[in-house]
Structure 1
Amino acid sequence: MMPTWSSRAPQNAYSHYVTTREEYGVQRYEGASTIFGPYTLEAFIDKYTSLVPYLANTATGTPASDPPPAEQTSKAISLQTAVVFDAEPIGQRFGNVLTDVSTTATYRAGQTVAAQFVGANPRNNLRLEGTFLSVDRLVNGQWVVVRSDSHPSTIYEWVRTNLILGFSTVTVSWTIESGAPAGTYRLRYYGDSKPLIGSISSFTGTSSSFTVA
Protein backbone atom coordinates (compact mmCIF):
# COMPACT_ATOMS: atom_id res chain seq x y z
CA MET A 1 0.00 0.00 0.00
CA MET A 2 1.37 3.40 -0.94
CA PRO A 3 1.71 5.93 1.90
CA THR A 4 -0.87 8.67 2.13
CA TRP A 5 -0.94 11.65 4.43
CA SER A 6 -3.99 13.81 4.94
CA SER A 7 -3.20 17.33 6.12
CA ARG A 8 -6.81 18.39 6.23
CA ALA A 9 -6.99 18.80 9.99
CA PRO A 10 -3.82 20.85 10.73
CA GLN A 11 -4.08 22.80 7.48
CA ASN A 12 -7.80 23.59 7.79
CA ALA A 13 -8.43 21.82 4.44
CA TYR A 14 -5.94 24.06 2.60
CA SER A 15 -3.73 21.33 1.13
CA HIS A 16 -6.07 18.33 1.49
CA TYR A 17 -4.31 14.99 0.75
CA VAL A 18 -0.57 14.60 0.17
CA THR A 19 0.52 11.46 -1.68
CA THR A 20 3.58 10.03 -3.36
CA ARG A 21 4.11 10.67 -7.08
CA GLU A 22 3.26 7.01 -7.76
CA GLU A 23 -0.08 7.22 -6.01
CA TYR A 24 -0.82 10.56 -7.62
CA GLY A 25 -0.27 8.93 -10.99
CA VAL A 26 -2.85 6.23 -10.25
CA GLN A 27 -5.45 8.95 -9.50
CA ARG A 28 -7.61 7.06 -7.08
CA TYR A 29 -9.38 8.99 -4.31
CA GLU A 30 -6.31 10.18 -2.37
CA GLY A 31 -4.19 10.87 -5.44
CA ALA A 32 -6.99 12.77 -7.13
CA SER A 33 -7.44 14.77 -3.93
CA THR A 34 -3.81 15.93 -3.88
CA ILE A 35 -4.77 19.27 -5.33
CA PHE A 36 -1.31 20.83 -5.76
CA GLY A 37 0.09 18.24 -8.12
CA PRO A 38 2.43 15.24 -8.14
CA TYR A 39 5.32 17.04 -6.41
CA THR A 40 3.32 18.13 -3.35
CA LEU A 41 5.05 15.62 -1.06
CA GLU A 42 8.52 16.75 -2.16
CA ALA A 43 7.53 20.38 -1.55
CA PHE A 44 6.37 19.56 1.98
CA ILE A 45 9.57 17.60 2.72
CA ASP A 46 11.74 20.44 1.42
CA LYS A 47 9.91 23.06 3.44
CA TYR A 48 9.76 21.06 6.67
CA THR A 49 13.42 20.06 6.37
CA SER A 50 14.38 23.73 6.28
CA LEU A 51 12.42 24.28 9.50
CA VAL A 52 13.98 21.42 11.50
CA PRO A 53 16.99 23.47 12.77
CA TYR A 54 14.59 25.89 14.44
CA LEU A 55 13.21 23.07 16.61
CA ALA A 56 16.52 22.50 18.42
CA ASN A 57 16.82 23.49 22.08
CA THR A 58 19.60 25.91 21.19
CA ALA A 59 17.89 27.35 18.10
CA THR A 60 17.91 31.10 17.64
CA GLY A 61 16.03 33.39 15.32
CA THR A 62 12.96 32.63 13.27
CA PRO A 63 12.61 31.23 9.76
CA ALA A 64 12.08 33.65 6.93
CA SER A 65 8.51 34.00 5.73
CA ASP A 66 7.59 33.20 2.17
CA PRO A 67 5.89 35.94 0.17
CA PRO A 68 2.10 35.89 0.48
CA PRO A 69 0.15 34.29 -2.36
CA ALA A 70 -1.36 36.53 -4.99
CA GLU A 71 -4.75 38.05 -4.18
CA GLN A 72 -7.38 36.14 -6.16
CA THR A 73 -10.64 37.07 -4.45
CA SER A 74 -11.28 40.11 -6.64
CA LYS A 75 -10.91 37.90 -9.73
CA ALA A 76 -13.52 35.37 -8.62
CA ILE A 77 -16.61 35.00 -10.77
CA SER A 78 -19.98 34.34 -9.18
CA LEU A 79 -22.90 32.90 -11.12
CA GLN A 80 -25.26 33.47 -8.21
CA THR A 81 -27.82 36.19 -8.84
CA ALA A 82 -27.70 39.22 -6.58
CA VAL A 83 -30.34 40.03 -4.00
CA VAL A 84 -32.91 42.30 -5.65
CA PHE A 85 -34.65 43.69 -2.58
CA ASP A 86 -36.28 42.89 0.76
CA ALA A 87 -39.59 44.27 1.94
CA GLU A 88 -41.74 44.30 5.05
CA PRO A 89 -45.36 43.15 5.06
CA ILE A 90 -47.88 45.90 5.74
CA GLY A 91 -47.88 46.83 9.40
CA GLN A 92 -44.60 45.04 10.11
CA ARG A 93 -40.95 46.02 10.47
CA PHE A 94 -37.81 43.99 9.89
CA GLY A 95 -37.05 42.08 13.07
CA ASN A 96 -40.61 42.11 14.37
CA VAL A 97 -41.62 38.91 16.14
CA LEU A 98 -44.19 36.88 14.20
CA THR A 99 -44.25 33.82 16.47
CA ASP A 100 -42.94 34.35 19.97
CA VAL A 101 -41.54 32.03 22.61
CA SER A 102 -43.79 30.90 25.42
CA THR A 103 -43.68 33.37 28.30
CA THR A 104 -45.78 31.20 30.61
CA ALA A 105 -44.24 27.76 30.20
CA THR A 106 -40.95 26.72 31.76
CA TYR A 107 -38.48 25.18 29.31
CA ARG A 108 -36.21 22.30 30.27
CA ALA A 109 -33.18 20.49 28.85
CA GLY A 110 -34.01 18.64 25.66
CA GLN A 111 -36.80 21.01 24.66
CA THR A 112 -36.52 23.40 21.74
CA VAL A 113 -37.47 27.04 22.07
CA ALA A 114 -38.03 29.06 18.88
CA ALA A 115 -39.16 32.44 17.62
CA GLN A 116 -39.99 33.61 14.10
CA PHE A 117 -39.18 37.10 12.85
CA VAL A 118 -39.83 39.33 9.85
CA GLY A 119 -36.62 38.59 7.98
CA ALA A 120 -34.37 39.65 5.12
CA ASN A 121 -32.03 37.79 2.78
CA PRO A 122 -28.92 36.62 4.71
CA ARG A 123 -26.76 37.16 1.61
CA ASN A 124 -26.99 40.90 2.23
CA ASN A 125 -24.38 40.37 4.94
CA LEU A 126 -22.79 36.97 5.53
CA ARG A 127 -21.63 38.05 9.00
CA LEU A 128 -18.47 35.96 8.70
CA GLU A 129 -16.99 37.48 11.85
CA GLY A 130 -20.33 37.79 13.61
CA THR A 131 -23.55 35.84 14.01
CA PHE A 132 -27.08 35.71 12.65
CA LEU A 133 -28.49 34.85 16.07
CA SER A 134 -27.77 34.75 19.75
CA VAL A 135 -29.16 33.13 22.85
CA ASP A 136 -28.85 35.60 25.70
CA ARG A 137 -29.04 34.92 29.44
CA LEU A 138 -29.90 37.53 32.05
CA VAL A 139 -27.01 37.70 34.51
CA ASN A 140 -27.03 40.29 37.31
CA GLY A 141 -29.37 42.50 35.34
CA GLN A 142 -27.32 42.34 32.13
CA TRP A 143 -27.96 40.27 28.99
CA VAL A 144 -24.99 38.00 28.23
CA VAL A 145 -24.60 36.09 24.95
CA VAL A 146 -24.26 32.38 25.73
CA ARG A 147 -24.83 30.86 22.26
CA SER A 148 -24.38 31.99 18.66
CA ASP A 149 -25.06 30.46 15.25
CA SER A 150 -21.75 28.57 15.49
CA HIS A 151 -23.09 26.32 18.23
CA PRO A 152 -24.75 23.02 17.20
CA SER A 153 -27.64 23.59 19.61
CA THR A 154 -28.89 26.57 17.59
CA ILE A 155 -30.57 26.72 14.18
CA TYR A 156 -31.10 29.69 11.86
CA GLU A 157 -33.69 29.16 9.13
CA TRP A 158 -34.47 31.74 6.45
CA VAL A 159 -37.48 31.29 4.16
CA ARG A 160 -38.47 33.53 1.25
CA THR A 161 -42.25 33.62 1.68
CA ASN A 162 -43.02 35.85 -1.32
CA LEU A 163 -40.49 36.25 -4.13
CA ILE A 164 -42.43 38.99 -5.93
CA LEU A 165 -43.05 41.16 -2.87
CA GLY A 166 -39.68 40.40 -1.27
CA PHE A 167 -41.10 39.04 2.00
CA SER A 168 -39.22 36.51 4.11
CA THR A 169 -39.14 35.06 7.59
CA VAL A 170 -36.35 33.89 9.87
CA THR A 171 -36.79 31.30 12.59
CA VAL A 172 -34.26 31.15 15.41
CA SER A 173 -34.33 28.03 17.57
CA TRP A 174 -32.31 26.66 20.44
CA THR A 175 -32.40 23.10 21.75
CA ILE A 176 -31.58 23.45 25.42
CA GLU A 177 -28.60 21.35 26.37
CA SER A 178 -28.29 19.29 29.52
CA GLY A 179 -26.52 21.38 32.12
CA ALA A 180 -27.75 24.74 30.82
CA PRO A 181 -28.01 27.05 33.85
CA ALA A 182 -31.50 27.82 35.06
CA GLY A 183 -32.56 31.38 34.52
CA THR A 184 -34.09 33.92 32.18
CA TYR A 185 -33.20 33.85 28.48
CA ARG A 186 -34.13 35.45 25.16
CA LEU A 187 -33.49 34.83 21.45
CA ARG A 188 -32.11 37.51 19.15
CA TYR A 189 -31.96 37.74 15.36
CA TYR A 190 -29.41 39.91 13.54
CA GLY A 191 -30.28 40.77 9.96
CA ASP A 192 -29.60 43.15 7.10
CA SER A 193 -32.19 44.36 4.60
CA LYS A 194 -31.74 45.66 1.08
CA PRO A 195 -34.26 48.17 -0.30
CA LEU A 196 -35.06 48.40 -3.98
CA ILE A 197 -33.32 51.78 -3.99
CA GLY A 198 -30.73 52.65 -1.39
CA SER A 199 -28.15 50.91 0.75
CA ILE A 200 -28.25 47.83 2.94
CA SER A 201 -29.06 48.49 6.60
CA SER A 202 -28.85 46.29 9.68
CA PHE A 203 -31.55 45.54 12.21
CA THR A 204 -32.20 43.22 15.16
CA GLY A 205 -35.16 41.24 16.41
CA THR A 206 -35.67 40.16 20.00
CA SER A 207 -38.04 37.58 21.42
CA SER A 208 -39.77 37.87 24.75
CA SER A 209 -37.84 36.50 27.71
CA PHE A 210 -38.45 32.93 28.77
CA THR A 211 -37.53 30.72 31.69
CA VAL A 212 -35.26 27.69 31.74
CA ALA A 213 -35.46 25.45 34.79
Structure 2
Amino acid sequence: MKNQYNQPIGEPICDWTTRKKPTKRKMEGRYCYLECLTPEKHVEDLYAVYGPESAVENWTYLPLEKFEDQATFAAYLESASQSKDPLHYAIIDKTTEKALGTLALMRINQEQGTMEVGFVIYSDQLKKTRIATEAQYLAASYAMDELGYRRYEWKCDALNEPSKKAALRLGFVFEGVFRQALVYKGRNRDTAWFSIIDSEWPEVKRKLESWLDPENFTEDGKQKKSLRMF
Protein backbone atom coordinates (compact mmCIF):
# COMPACT_ATOMS: atom_id res chain seq x y z
CA MET A 1 0.00 0.00 0.00
CA LYS A 2 1.28 3.49 -0.87
CA ASN A 3 0.35 7.03 0.08
CA GLN A 4 -0.14 10.01 -2.23
CA TYR A 5 3.65 10.48 -2.38
CA ASN A 6 4.14 6.93 -3.69
CA GLN A 7 5.70 5.85 -0.39
CA PRO A 8 4.92 2.41 1.02
CA ILE A 9 2.90 2.61 4.24
CA GLY A 10 1.26 0.17 6.64
CA GLU A 11 -2.26 -1.14 6.24
CA PRO A 12 -4.92 1.06 7.85
CA ILE A 13 -6.47 -0.06 11.13
CA CYS A 14 -10.09 0.95 11.36
CA ASP A 15 -11.96 1.70 14.57
CA TRP A 16 -8.96 1.04 16.82
CA THR A 17 -9.57 1.76 20.50
CA THR A 18 -7.35 1.64 23.55
CA ARG A 19 -7.48 -1.81 25.11
CA LYS A 20 -8.40 -2.57 28.71
CA LYS A 21 -5.75 -3.52 31.23
CA PRO A 22 -5.68 -7.11 32.45
CA THR A 23 -7.19 -7.51 35.90
CA LYS A 24 -6.85 -9.86 38.83
CA ARG A 25 -9.46 -12.19 37.43
CA LYS A 26 -9.29 -15.96 37.64
CA MET A 27 -8.52 -17.78 34.38
CA GLU A 28 -9.80 -21.33 34.51
CA GLY A 29 -8.84 -24.23 32.27
CA ARG A 30 -9.35 -27.98 32.25
CA TYR A 31 -6.20 -28.89 34.19
CA CYS A 32 -5.28 -25.68 35.99
CA TYR A 33 -6.31 -22.14 36.71
CA LEU A 34 -4.45 -18.87 37.08
CA GLU A 35 -5.17 -16.52 39.93
CA CYS A 36 -3.38 -13.40 41.09
CA LEU A 37 -0.79 -13.84 43.79
CA THR A 38 -2.09 -13.78 47.34
CA PRO A 39 0.77 -14.01 49.84
CA GLU A 40 -1.15 -15.66 52.65
CA LYS A 41 -2.60 -18.23 50.24
CA HIS A 42 0.42 -19.02 48.07
CA VAL A 43 3.48 -18.46 50.23
CA GLU A 44 3.87 -22.07 51.39
CA ASP A 45 3.45 -23.67 47.96
CA LEU A 46 5.57 -21.14 46.11
CA TYR A 47 8.36 -21.16 48.67
CA ALA A 48 8.98 -24.73 47.50
CA VAL A 49 9.39 -23.30 43.97
CA TYR A 50 11.38 -20.15 44.83
CA GLY A 51 13.13 -21.29 48.01
CA PRO A 52 16.38 -23.02 49.00
CA GLU A 53 15.24 -26.45 47.82
CA SER A 54 14.94 -25.27 44.20
CA ALA A 55 17.76 -26.23 41.85
CA VAL A 56 20.44 -23.57 41.46
CA GLU A 57 20.48 -23.98 37.68
CA ASN A 58 16.81 -22.96 37.50
CA TRP A 59 17.83 -19.36 38.28
CA THR A 60 20.62 -18.79 35.76
CA TYR A 61 18.50 -16.84 33.28
CA LEU A 62 16.01 -15.28 35.72
CA PRO A 63 16.31 -11.75 37.14
CA LEU A 64 15.95 -13.19 40.65
CA GLU A 65 17.96 -15.55 42.80
CA LYS A 66 16.32 -18.27 44.84
CA PHE A 67 15.25 -17.20 48.33
CA GLU A 68 17.10 -18.59 51.32
CA ASP A 69 14.45 -17.88 53.96
CA GLN A 70 10.68 -17.73 53.97
CA ALA A 71 10.40 -14.28 55.56
CA THR A 72 12.34 -12.67 52.72
CA PHE A 73 10.29 -14.58 50.17
CA ALA A 74 7.04 -13.55 51.85
CA ALA A 75 8.12 -9.90 51.60
CA TYR A 76 8.88 -10.37 47.88
CA LEU A 77 5.50 -12.04 47.36
CA GLU A 78 3.72 -9.18 49.12
CA SER A 79 5.43 -6.66 46.85
CA ALA A 80 4.74 -8.71 43.72
CA SER A 81 1.07 -9.09 44.65
CA GLN A 82 0.69 -5.29 44.75
CA SER A 83 2.26 -4.75 41.32
CA LYS A 84 -0.02 -3.86 38.42
CA ASP A 85 2.70 -4.25 35.77
CA PRO A 86 4.00 -6.90 35.96
CA LEU A 87 0.70 -8.46 37.01
CA HIS A 88 1.68 -11.74 38.65
CA TYR A 89 -0.42 -14.92 38.63
CA ALA A 90 -0.03 -18.22 40.45
CA ILE A 91 -0.51 -21.41 38.43
CA ILE A 92 -2.78 -23.77 40.37
CA ASP A 93 -3.10 -27.51 39.72
CA LYS A 94 -6.85 -28.24 39.79
CA THR A 95 -6.29 -31.76 41.07
CA THR A 96 -4.22 -30.85 44.11
CA GLU A 97 -5.13 -27.14 44.47
CA LYS A 98 -1.41 -26.43 44.91
CA ALA A 99 0.47 -23.55 43.31
CA LEU A 100 3.19 -25.01 41.09
CA GLY A 101 4.65 -21.86 39.58
CA THR A 102 3.99 -18.34 38.38
CA LEU A 103 3.82 -16.16 35.29
CA ALA A 104 3.11 -12.49 34.73
CA LEU A 105 1.47 -10.24 32.16
CA MET A 106 3.78 -7.27 31.77
CA ARG A 107 4.95 -4.33 29.66
CA ILE A 108 1.27 -3.69 29.09
CA ASN A 109 0.68 -1.02 26.43
CA GLN A 110 -3.03 -0.35 26.20
CA GLU A 111 -2.70 2.30 23.49
CA GLN A 112 -0.76 0.04 21.11
CA GLY A 113 -2.41 -3.23 22.16
CA THR A 114 0.75 -5.08 23.14
CA MET A 115 1.82 -7.04 26.20
CA GLU A 116 4.40 -9.63 27.21
CA VAL A 117 4.30 -12.82 29.24
CA GLY A 118 7.22 -13.01 31.64
CA PHE A 119 8.43 -14.07 35.08
CA VAL A 120 7.75 -17.65 34.00
CA ILE A 121 8.97 -19.59 37.02
CA TYR A 122 8.03 -23.26 37.22
CA SER A 123 8.62 -25.98 39.76
CA ASP A 124 10.34 -29.06 38.37
CA GLN A 125 6.99 -30.82 38.87
CA LEU A 126 5.32 -28.36 36.51
CA LYS A 127 7.86 -28.37 33.68
CA LYS A 128 6.91 -30.21 30.47
CA THR A 129 3.34 -30.94 31.62
CA ARG A 130 -0.14 -30.28 30.31
CA ILE A 131 -0.59 -27.74 33.08
CA ALA A 132 2.43 -25.72 31.94
CA THR A 133 1.08 -25.56 28.39
CA GLU A 134 -2.45 -24.80 29.50
CA ALA A 135 -1.26 -21.99 31.77
CA GLN A 136 0.40 -20.32 28.79
CA TYR A 137 -2.70 -20.93 26.67
CA LEU A 138 -4.96 -19.32 29.29
CA ALA A 139 -2.80 -16.20 29.57
CA ALA A 140 -2.51 -15.79 25.80
CA SER A 141 -6.23 -16.35 25.29
CA TYR A 142 -7.04 -13.73 27.90
CA ALA A 143 -4.77 -11.20 26.19
CA MET A 144 -5.79 -11.91 22.60
CA ASP A 145 -9.42 -13.05 22.80
CA GLU A 146 -10.89 -11.30 25.80
CA LEU A 147 -8.85 -8.09 25.87
CA GLY A 148 -8.27 -7.84 22.12
CA TYR A 149 -4.54 -7.12 22.12
CA ARG A 150 -2.76 -7.12 18.75
CA ARG A 151 0.59 -8.44 19.85
CA TYR A 152 1.70 -10.86 22.57
CA GLU A 153 5.41 -11.12 23.31
CA TRP A 154 7.91 -13.53 24.83
CA LYS A 155 11.48 -12.42 25.56
CA CYS A 156 14.43 -14.26 27.06
CA ASP A 157 18.20 -14.34 27.27
CA ALA A 158 19.40 -15.29 23.79
CA LEU A 159 21.52 -18.04 25.40
CA ASN A 160 18.52 -19.60 27.16
CA GLU A 161 17.84 -22.50 24.81
CA PRO A 162 15.00 -24.10 26.86
CA SER A 163 13.07 -20.80 26.90
CA LYS A 164 13.56 -20.26 23.17
CA LYS A 165 12.38 -23.80 22.41
CA ALA A 166 9.35 -23.32 24.65
CA ALA A 167 8.40 -20.11 22.83
CA LEU A 168 8.60 -21.76 19.43
CA ARG A 169 6.67 -24.80 20.62
CA LEU A 170 3.87 -22.56 21.91
CA GLY A 171 3.52 -20.84 18.54
CA PHE A 172 5.56 -17.69 19.04
CA VAL A 173 7.52 -16.44 16.02
CA PHE A 174 11.21 -15.58 16.46
CA GLU A 175 11.86 -11.97 15.50
CA GLY A 176 15.52 -11.45 16.24
CA VAL A 177 18.04 -10.56 18.94
CA PHE A 178 18.50 -7.19 20.62
CA ARG A 179 22.23 -7.14 21.30
CA GLN A 180 23.47 -5.91 24.66
CA ALA A 181 19.92 -5.17 25.72
CA LEU A 182 20.45 -5.60 29.46
CA VAL A 183 22.99 -5.94 32.21
CA TYR A 184 21.84 -8.43 34.82
CA LYS A 185 23.60 -10.47 37.46
CA GLY A 186 26.81 -8.71 36.50
CA ARG A 187 26.79 -9.92 32.91
CA ASN A 188 25.55 -8.98 29.47
CA ARG A 189 22.22 -10.14 28.13
CA ASP A 190 21.38 -10.25 24.46
CA THR A 191 17.59 -10.57 24.36
CA ALA A 192 15.75 -12.89 21.94
CA TRP A 193 12.33 -11.55 20.91
CA PHE A 194 9.31 -13.68 19.98
CA SER A 195 5.69 -12.73 19.33
CA ILE A 196 2.24 -13.89 18.35
CA ILE A 197 0.11 -11.33 16.51
CA ASP A 198 -3.64 -11.28 16.27
CA SER A 199 -3.79 -12.68 12.72
CA GLU A 200 -1.74 -15.71 13.83
CA TRP A 201 -3.51 -16.36 17.10
CA PRO A 202 -6.56 -18.32 15.79
CA GLU A 203 -4.33 -21.03 14.29
CA VAL A 204 -2.03 -21.07 17.32
CA LYS A 205 -5.09 -21.35 19.55
CA ARG A 206 -6.50 -24.23 17.50
CA LYS A 207 -3.26 -26.19 17.80
CA LEU A 208 -2.99 -25.61 21.54
CA GLU A 209 -6.60 -26.65 22.12
CA SER A 210 -6.14 -29.77 19.99
CA TRP A 211 -3.04 -30.76 21.93
CA LEU A 212 -4.69 -30.09 25.30
CA ASP A 213 -7.74 -32.20 24.45
CA PRO A 214 -7.98 -35.18 26.85
CA GLU A 215 -8.26 -37.47 23.81
CA ASN A 216 -4.63 -36.62 23.02
CA PHE A 217 -3.42 -38.29 26.21
CA THR A 218 -3.21 -41.86 27.44
CA GLU A 219 -4.62 -42.87 30.81
CA ASP A 220 -1.22 -42.35 32.42
CA GLY A 221 -0.97 -38.85 30.99
CA LYS A 222 1.40 -39.35 28.08
CA GLN A 223 0.77 -37.37 24.91
CA LYS A 224 -0.29 -39.26 21.79
CA LYS A 225 0.72 -36.46 19.42
CA SER A 226 3.25 -33.71 20.03
CA LEU A 227 2.14 -30.11 19.62
CA ARG A 228 4.11 -29.75 16.39
CA MET A 229 1.97 -32.49 14.81
CA PHE A 230 -1.21 -30.41 14.91
More strand by share: 1
TM-score norm. by structure 1 comes to: 0.23
TM-score norm. by structure 2 comes to: 0.22
More helix by share: 2
| Larger Rg, first or second structure (1 or 2) | 1
